[in-house]
Amino acid sequence: MITKLRNLVWFLKRPHLMPQVWYLFIRKFRPGIVAMDSTGDEALRWCRQSEVDMVTAYRKLTNQEPPAPILDLYSDVFANAEKVTSACVVRMGGAGAVDMLYWISEYLQATRILETGVAYGWSSLAFLLSIEHRPEGKLVSVDMPYVGMNNDEHIGCAVPDSLRAQWTLLKTSDRQGVPAVLRKLGTLDICHYDSDKSYQGRMWAYPLLWNALRSGGIFVSDDIGDNVAFRDFCASLKIDPVVFKYNGKFVGMMTKP
């Protein structure tokens, strides 16, 4: 009860996030969809059936050999980001599959990328290191600060100032941010989903992001072993995704036909 009250106060201090409170409240009246959050075992079994290593995943998707790992290509940038994030006073979520994100951005020569979920900003850093060579390139990231924490100012701290010109960071929830970004950006080369991990959150956002992708664009979702949302979404599209493991978590990818 005390945590609930604390969280409510946290939201009241951030009135622009109040629609998220409404969404969380309404969720309580939909026990069926909330129960889908507990389908992790089934999701993990499904992921393991088609799991390949990351390099094989890249080859399957592109028919090409991947570039070098991003940490080898930009060791100074990552060493500096490591220093900044270690010194950060708040602890945030772990990194997405930065090598793969950089590789696919290079492969597509992407210029319009939307990602959900930033935390320290490792995935943002990977995309920005790729699009810095394309002046027209844009990354838009949507991230709601962690509920109950005061991490607002630290979101994206892994990204140095020198890479921020091509970056728009919206510190809001997916529900508010994603539709607004899609109206502005138009079609996308890459979508990376790494925010609301609930079944309901994913099943709301996945189709919106998928519809915004151009033909040949790449859809990536992190943590697909949390519940069966990614499996169900792929089944609804009749597409076999590429699945690989990164830092102990499963990542799913599909190219839009």
| Contact pick of 81, 112, 121, 242 for ligand SAM (by CB under 6 A) | 121
- The answer to whether residue 191 forms part of the interface with ligand SAM (CB under 6 A) is no
* Residue 117 in the binding site for ligand SAM (CB under 6 A): yes
Minimum distance from residue 215 beta carbon to ligand SAM (Å): 25
Taking CB atoms, the residue at the shortest distance from ligand SAM is: 93
**According to the 3-state scheme, what is the secondary structure of the chain?**
CHHHHHHHHHHHCCHHHHHHHHHHHHHCCCHHHHHHHHCHHHHHHHHHHHEECHHHHHHHHHCCCCCCCHHHHCHHHHHHHHHHHHHCCCCCCCCCCHHHHHHHHHHHCCCEEEEECCCCCHHHHHHHHHHCCCCCCEEEEECCCCCCCCCHHHCCCCCCHHHHHHEEEECCCHHHHHHHHHHHHCCEEEEEECCCCCHHHHHHHHHHHHHHEEEEEEEEECCCCCCCHHHHHHHHHCCCCEEEEECCEEEEEEECC
Task: Verify binding: residue 120, ligand SAM, rule CB under 6 A.
Answer: yes
Residue 129 touching ligand SAM (CB under 6 A) = no
Q: Is 203 in the site for ligand SAM (CB under 6 A)?
A: no
Nearer to ligand SAM (CB atom), residue 88 or residue 240: 88
Q: Which stretch binds ligand SAM (CB under 6 A): 53-61, 132-140, 192-200, 225-233?
A: 192-200
The answer to the question of residue 93 lying near ligand SAM (CB under 6 A) is yes
Q: Which residues bind ligand SAM (CB under 6 A)?
A: 92-96, 116-123, 142-146, 173-174, 194-196, 201
